[in-house]
Amino acid sequence: MSTNAADTTAIAGAPNHGKRFLTIWIVASVIATPLVAIFLGDLLPPGDASAQATQQVFDNSWLLTISTPIFLFVLILLLYTVFSFRARTTELVDGPPMRGNARIQLLWMIITPAVVLFLAGFGTYELWQSGAGGGQGPNAAFLPAGYKQALDVQVIGQQWAFTYRYPTYGGVETPHLVLPARTLVRLHVTSLDAVHSFWAYQLGVKADANPGVDNVAYVQTKGPEAFDIHCAELCGLWHGYMFDTGHVVASAQFASWIKQQQSYFAPVMKYLPKYSTSYLPDPQRRAG
Amino acid sequence: MTGRLGLKIAGVLAAVAVGGILIGFYIGGWVQPGITPYNPVAQTTTAKPTVNLTLQTVAAVGPTLSPNPDWVSYLVRDDGRWKRSTIFTLPAHALVHVTIYNFDGASGLRNPILGRPTGLVGPEIVDGKPITVMPPDEPSHTFAVPQLGIVVPVAPVGDDAKNQCGYAPCAMSMAHRTIEFTFRTGKPGKYRWQCFVPCAAGFVDGFGGPMQTIGYMDGFLNVV
Q: Which of A238, A265, A288 sits opposite B192 (nearest CB)?
A: A238
Q: Do B133 and A286 touch (CB under 8 A)?
A: no
Residue B134: what pLDDT? 96
Mean pLDDT for B22-26 is: 80
Average pLDDT, whole number, for chain B? 89
Q: Do A271 and B212 touch (CB under 8 A)?
A: no
Cβ atoms of residues B106 and B191 within 8 Å:
no
- The per-residue pLDDT for A96 is 76
pTM score of the predicted model: 0.84
Q: For the ranges A167-181, B27-41, B91-105, which has the lowest average pLDDT?
A: B27-41
pLDDT of res. B25: 75
3-class DSSP state for residue B210?
helix
- CB within 8 Å: A271 and B196: no
For A274, name the nearest residue in chain B, comparing CA atoms only.
B112
* Cβ pairs A/B, distance under 8 A: 98
Q: Is B214 touching A (CB cutoff 8 A)?
A: yes
Residue of A nearest to B114 (CA): A268
- Taking only the tens place, the pLDDT of each residue in B115-160 is 999 999 999 999 999 999 999 999 999 999 999 999 999 999 998 9
Predicted local distance difference test score (pLDDT) of residue A166? 97
**Are the C-beta atoms of A269 and A169 separated by less than 8 Å?**
no
Task: Look up residue A34 and give its amino acid.
Answer: P
B149 lies within 8 A of chain A by CB: yes
pLDDT given for residue A1 in this prediction: 41
ipTM of the complex: 0.81
Contact A187, A216 (CB under 8 A): yes
pLDDT beyond 90 at B223: yes
Q: What pLDDT, on the 0 to 100 scale, is given for residue B218?
A: 94
Helix H, strand E, coil C: the string for chain A is CCCCHHHHHCCCCCCCHHHHHHHHHHHHHHHHHHHHHHHHHHHCCCCCCEHHHHHHHHHHHHHHHHHHHHHHHHHHHHHHHHHHCCCCCCCCCCCCCCCCCHHHHHHHHHHHHHHHHHHHHHHHHHHHHHCCCECCCCCCCCCCCCHHHCEEEEEEEECCEEEEEEHHHCCEEECCCEEECCCEEEEEEEECCCCEEEEECCCCEEEEECECCCEEEEEEECCCEEEEEEECCCCCCCHHHCEEEEEEECHHHHHHHHHHHHHHCHHHHCCCCCCCCCCCCCCCCCCC
Q: B180: how many CB neighbours lie within 10 A of its CB?
A: 17
Of B115, B205, B211, the CB nearest to A268: B115
**B65 pLDDT higher than 70:** yes
DSSP annotation of B38 reads: B
Distance, in angstroms, between B13 CA and closest chain A CA? 28
Between residues A213 and B48, the one the model is more confident about: A213
Share of chain B above pLDDT 90, in %: 73
- Judged by phi (left if over 0) then psi (alpha if -120 to 50, else beta), residue B79 lies in left
Question: Which residues, 6 or more positions from B169, have their beta carbon under 8 angstroms from its beta carbon?
Answer: B56, B58, B62, B64, B65, B75, B82
* Chain A residues inside the 8 Å CB shell of B110: 158, 192-193, 281, 286
Tell me the pLDDT of chain A averaged across its residues: 89
Which among A173, A175, A192 has CB closest to B110? Answer: A192
Q: What is the pLDDT of residue A206?
A: 95
Return d(Cα B96, Cα B99) in angstroms, integer: 10
Nearest to A268 among B112, B194, B205 (CB): B112
Q: Do the beta carbons of residue B22 and residue B68 sit within 8 Å?
A: no
- In total, chain B counts a number of residues equal to 224
Give the best-scoring range by mean pLDDT among A78-92, B87-101, B204-218.
Answer: B87-101
Instruction: Tell me what pLDDT residue A4 has.
Output: 46
Which parts of chain A have pLDDT scores under 50? 1-9
For residue B135, the chain A residue with the least C-alpha distance is A271
